[in-house]
Amino acid sequence: MGMGSKMEGPSTPAIRRDPYEVLSVSRDSTDQEIKTAYRKLALKYHPDKNASNPEASELFKEVAYSYSILSDPEKRRQYDSAGFEALDADSMDMEIDLSNLGTVNTVFAALFSKLGVPIKTTISANVLEEALNGTVTIRPLPIGTSVSGKVDKQSAHFFSVTINEQQAESGIVVRVTSTAQSKFKLLYFEQDVNGGYGLALQEDSEKAGKVTSAGMYFLHFQVYRMDSTVNALAMAKDPEGAFFKRLEGLQPCEVSELKPGTHIFAVYGDNFFKTASYTIEAVCAKSYEDTTQKLKDIEAQILRKRNELRQFEAEYRKALARYQEVTDRYTQEKQSVDELLKQRDGIHSSFTIVKPTNINGSGSNLSNGSSSKISGEESPGEDGGSDGKDKSGKKKWFNLNLRGSDKRLV
């Protein structure tokens, strides 16, 4: 699983290498270790910082491609079991760096997004670097309050959320919504050893009814997020089977609790052209105990349903193949029956002594020998009757007076 074949696409490396080797992580690395390694390398090779170094751009693509495999549990499992070949059929989705995309490609990406095609985007290297250097402006977001604002595309607004021990024990929820249905990312940063902030978590906004929203739930149990870009291309290729992939985007969140202290969150503008409108709020789960339990229960049900759908898909595919088989046979059998009955009708019509006549002729034919006149028989009044008798001796009432009149005229 070292060198691989070339692949197409602007965000795909020219040659594929083992993603574990690219990110310098072991095969048993945790999700967090993989994410940390990716962010360091992505920041190191980002095109914004290496405009005059084309080699760095290729390395950045390779790092992003490798992370797109190892950050997805299903793709990682497929790669571990069968290498790149197991992934080729799915035409894996890549992340797009809008700050380095160009105007024309940005227009196309915006169009596809408008049509409902989920497109992954990366965070601008400038934002990540400013956070890492600790040079960002941070506004306080007290628990139980909300802040509304507008953030420019590929920019971020930073907020600090300070929680005490009781609040940390009860659980914390940070949510962002947009009634304008803007695209954005909710980011969570951890304190770096150098005093800056390193990106630890990110949630992309999803459409939910008439708004877009994203949330992080630190509730002391495993919470899941829905990534709509998972298997997006595979779903587009097979719309009928897309239903079975809907729950595959449910991915476990890496962090399930926060410690007492101050935590840094940010709202990142992910619109293609305009600013993103948003409202961010932080709440303590103490006042939402029933809602917390409902979330835990419903996600457990969704996970069970996902396993059921995986089994049902195999049954469905088998039944669908059988259905196609029997419908094809139905068409063949129908054609066969129609042809047999047509031949039978033709055989029936052969039992006749009457030749078909012109439809414009004056005569008519009766089948089964029930003709009113047999061929060769003469009608009354014609000479040469078959019995030799003079049929003219039989006087007709309409001839009596006429004959008498003839004699008188002579």
Asked which of 103, 121, 139 is the last residue of a domain, the reply is: 121
Residue 410 lies in a domain: no
144 lies in the same domain as 117: no
112 lies in the same domain as 167: no
Asked which of 66, 96, 121 is the last residue of a domain, the reply is: 121
26 lies in the same domain as 174: no
Percent of the chain with pLDDT over 90: 37
Q: Residue 290 has what pLDDT?
A: 93
pLDDT one-digit tens code per residue, 225-275:
887 666 665 666 677 777 888 888 888 887 889 999 999 999 999 876 789
* Cβ–Cβ < 8 Å for 117, 232: yes
Q: Residue 13 has what pLDDT?
A: 62
Residue 298 lies in a domain: no
pTM of this structure:
0.59
Residue 175 lies in a domain: yes
Tokens describing residue 294: 């409902």
Mean pLDDT, range 348-370, rounded to an integer: 64
* Cβ–Cβ < 8 Å for 74, 87: no
**Phi and psi at residue 350, to the nearest 5°:** -80, -15
162 lies in the same domain as 275: yes
pLDDT one-digit tens code per residue, 66-99:
888 888 777 788 888 778 776 665 544 445 454 5
131 lies in the same domain as 266: yes
Q: Residue 342 has what pLDDT?
A: 94
Mean pLDDT, range 38-59, rounded to an integer: 81
146 lies in the same domain as 267: yes
Cα-atom radius of gyration of the chain, to the nearest Å?
42
Mean pLDDT, range 323-338, rounded to an integer: 94
Residue 117 lies in a domain: yes
Q: Are strands 95-96 and 120-121 parallel, antiparallel or unpaired?
A: parallel
Whether 314 has a pLDDT exceeding 50, the answer reads yes
Characterise 261 by phi-psi region: left (phi > 0), alpha (psi -120 to 50), beta (else): left
Whether 56 has a pLDDT exceeding 90, the answer reads no
Residue 130 lies in a domain: yes
Q: Residue 188 has what pLDDT?
A: 94
Q: Residue 107 has what pLDDT?
A: 45
Question: Which range, of 36-50, 150-164, 172-186, 315-329, averages the lowest pLDDT?
Answer: 36-50
116 lies in the same domain as 141: no
CATH number at 38 reads 1.10.287.110
Q: Of 390, 368, 369, nearest to 381 (Cα)?
A: 390
97 lies in the same domain as 182: no
262 lies in the same domain as 185: yes
102 lies in the same domain as 130: no
131 lies in the same domain as 114: no
pLDDT category of residue 15 using cuts at 50, 70 and 90: confident
Whether 103 has a pLDDT exceeding 50, the answer reads no
Residue 157 lies in a domain: yes
Q: Of 253, 266, 242, nearest to 185 (Cα)?
A: 266
Tokens describing residue 389: 């008798």
Cα-Cα-Cα-Cα torsion 234, 238, 239, 243, nearest 10 degrees, comes to -70
Q: Of 74, 121, 93, nearest to 232 (Cα)?
A: 93
Taking each helix axis from N to C terminus, what angle separates 54-70 and 73-82, rounded to the nearest 10 degrees?
100
Question: Which range, of 55-64, 180-189, 233-242, averages the lowest pLDDT?
Answer: 233-242
* Cβ–Cβ < 8 Å for 87, 69: yes
Asked which of 74, 105, 121 is the last residue of a domain, the reply is: 121
Q: Of 269, 152, 136, nearest to 192 (Cα)?
A: 136
Q: Look up residue 91 and give its amino acid.
A: S
How many domains is the chain partitioned into structurally? 2
27 lies in the same domain as 84: yes
* Domain encompassing residue 46: 19-121
Residue 153 lies in a domain: yes
Q: Residue 58 has what pLDDT?
A: 82
DSSP 8-state assignment for residue 137? -
CATH number at 135 reads 2.60.120.380
Residue 81 lies in a domain: yes
| 3-state SS class at 276 | strand
